[in-house]
Amino acid sequence: MLLSGCSLESVGKAFGHFGWPGPGISLQAHKMYDLWIASTIAALVVGIFVWGLIFWCIIRYRKRGDELPVQTRFNMPMEVLYTVTPILVVAVLFYYTAIVQTDVDKLSKNPDQVVEVVAFKWQWQFNYRDGIGPDAGTVASTVGSADVIPLLVVPVGQKIRFEETARDVIHSFWVPELLFKRDVFPGNVRNVFEVTLDKEGRYVGRCAELCGTYHAYMQFEMVVVSADKFTTFLDTKKRGSTTQQAMEAIGFTGAQAYATTTAPLETRRQGSNWYQPNTAAAK
């Protein structure tokens, strides 16, 4: 089962993914998902074995009379067995965890796209960069407002590097479907990670670090599109269009040009706006 991701996914599906949202939408997520499902299966196998032993002892050695049973102590082989076995179990889990963790944290020398994630109270800005690191330039960006939930448009099948920075307090970048989140720090700490997405679609993103009064409203949406559409989106943005115009340029018209996955916190939320009553409708 460890060797076959496919069968792990079908097993996971049969058991509600053992509590996870699903197999994820990136190559990194699939590896974490497989580790989770395999670890859970291993834990269940050990659990069933231990429960079996417990119930066997309860039934086999239940009280039959007033005679005191034989008092056994210091069975050396048993002592060794139940010291070595848990260490082996932990060592195997640690081994696979270390491998997956290293892989999820791996950074490439030349990512296909670099996106700077800027978090602030209580919004997100996504800067598309022309290189790696804080000294690279921003070629286009999308940002949220009191009235519009920000969109993070990214291509499928490319190495995307996210570089995180905050303007005030600690926030956390979280897209549940990535099975991953990472804190966004202010100051000179620049958290970096990479993902390669393998499923187009629209996915909700949230701030996962309690950052202040309106933390709960700090939503965004990740829109995963084909490489061609992404190029068109970015070119349209570079020419000075709004994010919604650029969305229309790649086929997301009308309400589709705005975030669709952040319910119950909708974009264009005038009327129920959190600090600007009667704000103007989004353009």
List interacting residues with Cu ion (CB under 5 A).
171, 207, 211, 218
Report how far residue 141's alpha carbon sits from residue 129's, in angstroms, rounded to the nearest whole number.
Answer: 9
For the bound state, the minimum distance from the C-beta of residue 51 to Cu ion, rounded and expressed in Å, comes to 43
Q: Can you give the C-alpha Rg of the chain in angstroms?
A: 25
Report how far residue 186's alpha carbon sits from residue 194's, in angstroms, rounded to the nearest whole number.
Answer: 20
Burial of residue 179 (number of CB atoms within 10 Å: 0-12, 13-18, 19+)? buried
Q: Taking a C-beta distance cutoff of 8 angstroms, is the pair 226, 156 a contact?
A: yes
For the bound state, the minimum distance from the C-beta of residue 222 to Cu ion, rounded and expressed in Å, comes to 16
Whichever of 218 and 247 has its CB closer to Cu ion, that residue is: 218
For the bound state, the minimum distance from the C-beta of residue 165 to Cu ion, rounded and expressed in Å, comes to 13
Q: Taking a C-beta distance cutoff of 8 angstroms, is the pair 103, 151 a contact?
A: no
For the bound state, the minimum distance from the C-beta of residue 169 to Cu ion, rounded and expressed in Å, comes to 7
Whichever of 104 and 218 has its CB closer to Cu ion, that residue is: 218
Whichever of 27 and 216 has its CB closer to Cu ion, that residue is: 216
Q: In terms of Cα–Cα distance, which of 173, 197, 237 is closest to 112?
A: 197
Element (H, E) at 101: helix 76-105
For the bound state, the minimum distance from the C-beta of residue 144 to Cu ion, rounded and expressed in Å, comes to 12
Report how far residue 177's alpha carbon sits from residue 192's, in angstroms, rounded to the nearest whole number.
Answer: 18
Whichever of 191 and 232 has its CB closer to Cu ion, that residue is: 191
